[in-house]
């Protein structure tokens, strides 16, 4: 375990350094086989799927701790539509469970925004530890890495949310037995399913642009999976990356100049925060942008594919409640992989680029429609 802890701390230090340099600035119930090929031990194929039973795992709890007050730290990596949804769902479920169990989950003074900055996140971790919180819920991989590194010595439980590849990021030993003081929920992305949607809309797809931030751990395995699956389909890939809105705008311009037929972005928080600033470039070029969360479509991408983030947030809160009220051990509490298969299409963009998405209905669990706006209502 010493080696595991060393690796986790090293990963967090590397992340912090990368974020400091780059920042002047969220799945599938059955993760793709390509993801397994690209990430070996990190493959979501060993996932523990979330079901109605697991989401309601705390429903039978007693009120033995009635009147207890638990301090809950909630640390969101950055403001974006998906992470905001998760945060709200976590808070709503904590309120509901508190009322049901006769206890108080005090998160109001301990809900923080990391602003996509490693220094800020490290300070938040120090503050929450000093405040004596009983659990920390980090939302997104970068926040989870820093919270985990900060709490390993004092063993404050960490229940992460929206970590796409917990094993690959070095957060857990395995999905079934996370080890140490950590567990949570994952929004692992079925990359093959996203590319199948692209081919359904455009069977002549020959060149796919990959737009992401190399510093985002959540993107690495998904991009590798996309490249592997595209190779089996005879699709050429063109990679462009960026760490700021300006860099991503230039990357988008480069993909357009390369005459790609479509663009793919995984659950990448950096691109998510830039989407409103770059989506019109792809619309003007009539290039559909597919991404790994519904919030991308909300902010102007053609299609977002992934999990229900309200359900994910609710399940995250349920795990935290189980840890606090029932004494569940994070080390032996399996990571929950959210069921995916929800495609969200921006109808304004679809009309502007002239792309028919009627075939999507038979290829996903649910097809939703949205228009461009900043946040979910």
CATH number of the domain enclosing 270: 3.40.50.2300
The residue-averaged pLDDT of 341-355 equals 97
Alpha carbon distance 133, 107 (integer Å)? 9
Position 217 confidence tier, pLDDT thresholds 50, 70, 90: confident
Residue 20 sits in the same domain as residue 142? yes
Q: What is the pLDDT of residues 77-124, one digit of tens each?
A: 999 889 999 999 999 999 999 999 999 999 999 999 999 999 999 999
Q: Is residue 43 part of a domain?
A: no
Residue 356 sits in the same domain as residue 253? yes
Give how far Cα 134 sits from Cα of 137, 269, 330, Å.
10, 27, 13
Residue 181 sits in the same domain as residue 236? no
Position 344 confidence tier, pLDDT thresholds 50, 70, 90: very high
The pLDDT score that the predictor gives to residue 218 is 81
Residue 234 sits in the same domain as residue 365? yes
Position 37 confidence tier, pLDDT thresholds 50, 70, 90: very low
Residue 168 sits in the same domain as residue 152? yes
Q: Which of 65, 286, 309, 74 is nearest to 185 (CA)?
A: 309
Residue 359 sits in the same domain as residue 293? yes
Q: Is residue 376 part of a domain?
A: no
Q: Is residue 64 part of a domain?
A: yes
Q: What is the pLDDT of residues 227-236, one digit of tens each?
A: 999 999 999 9
Position 376 confidence tier, pLDDT thresholds 50, 70, 90: confident
Alpha carbon distance 300, 292 (integer Å)? 13
Task: Give the sheet arrangement for strand 207-212, strand by strand.
Answer: 236-241, 207-212, 262-265, 289-291, 303-306, 342-346, 366-370
Q: Is residue 243 part of a domain?
A: yes
Q: Is residue 37 part of a domain?
A: no
Residue 288 sits in the same domain as residue 215? yes
The pLDDT score that the predictor gives to residue 6 is 42
Residue 118 sits in the same domain as residue 199? no
- If one counts every other C-beta atom within 10 angstroms of the C-beta of residue 307, the result is 30
* 51 against 336, higher pLDDT: 336
Q: Is residue 111 part of a domain?
A: yes
**Range(s) of the domain holding residue 17:** 2-26+51-187+308-337
Lowest average pLDDT, out of 9-13, 267-271, 334-338, goes to 9-13
Helix (H) or strand (E) holding 208: strand 207-212
With beta carbons less than 8 A apart as the criterion, state whether 352 and 62 touch.
no
Residue 55 sits in the same domain as residue 176? yes
The encoded tokens of residue 145 equal 């890495």
Residue 182 sits in the same domain as residue 326? yes
Percent of the chain with pLDDT over 90: 77
The residue-averaged pLDDT of 317-335 equals 97
Residue 332 sits in the same domain as residue 346? no
What's the structural domain count of the chain? 2
Q: Is residue 10 part of a domain?
A: yes
Mean pLDDT of the chain: 86
- The secondary structure of 98-142 as a DSSP string is HHHHT-EEE-GGGEEE-TT-HHHHHHHHHHHHHHT-SEEEEESHH
Alpha carbon distance 247, 273 (integer Å)? 13
Q: What is the pLDDT of residues 154-170, one digit of tens each?
A: 989 999 999 999 999 99
The pLDDT score that the predictor gives to residue 99 is 97
Q: Classify 71 as helix, strand or coil.
A: strand
Q: Is residue 263 part of a domain?
A: yes
Residue 60 sits in the same domain as residue 21? yes
């Amino acid at each position: 375990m010493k080696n595991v802890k060393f690796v986790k701390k090293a990963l967090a230090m590397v992340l912090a350094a990368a974020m400091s340099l780059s920042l002047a600035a969220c799945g599938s119930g059955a993760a793709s086989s390509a993801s397994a090929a690209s990430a070996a031990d990190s493959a979501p194929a060993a996932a523990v799927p979330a079901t109605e039973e697991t989401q309601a795992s705390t429903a039978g709890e007693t009120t033995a701790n009635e009147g207890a007050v638990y301090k809950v730290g909630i640390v969101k990596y950055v403001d974006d539509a998906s992470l905001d949804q998760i945060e709200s769902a976590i808070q709503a479920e904590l309120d509901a469970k508190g009322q049901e169990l006769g206890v108080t989950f005090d998160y109001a003074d301990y809900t923080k925004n990391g602003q996509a900055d490693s220094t800020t996140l490290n300070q938040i971790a120090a503050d929450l530890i000093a405040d004596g919180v009983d659990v920390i819920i980090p939302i997104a991989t970068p926040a989870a890495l820093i919270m985990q590194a900060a709490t390993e010595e004092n063993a404050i439980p960490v229940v992460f949310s929206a970590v796409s590849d917990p094993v690959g990021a070095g957060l857990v030993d395995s999905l079934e037995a996370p080890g140490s003081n950590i567990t949570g929920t994952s929004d692992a992305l079925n990359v093959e399913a996203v590319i199948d949607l692209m081919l359904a809309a455009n069977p002549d797809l020959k060149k796919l642009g990959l737009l992401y931030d190399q510093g985002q751990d959540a993107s690495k395995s998904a991009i590798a999976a996309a490249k592997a699956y595209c190779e089996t389909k005879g699709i050429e890939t063109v990679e462009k990356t960026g760490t700021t809105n300006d860099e991503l705008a230039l990357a988008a311009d480069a993909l357009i100049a390369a005459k790609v037929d479509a663009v793919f972005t995984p659950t990448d928080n950096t691109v998510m925060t830039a989407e409103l600033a770059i989506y019109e470039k792809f619309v003007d070029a009539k290039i559909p942008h597919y991404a790994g969360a519904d919030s991308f479509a909300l902010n102007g991408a053609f299609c977002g594919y992934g999990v229900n983030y309200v359900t994910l947030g609710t399940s995250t809160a349920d795990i935290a409640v189980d840890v606090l009220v029932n004494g569940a051990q994070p080390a032996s509490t399996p990571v929950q992989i959210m069921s995916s298969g929800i495609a969200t299409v921006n109808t304004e963009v679809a009309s502007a680029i002239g792309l028919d998405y009627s075939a999507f209905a038979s290829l996903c669990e649910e097809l939703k429609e949205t228009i461009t706006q900043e946040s979910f209502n």
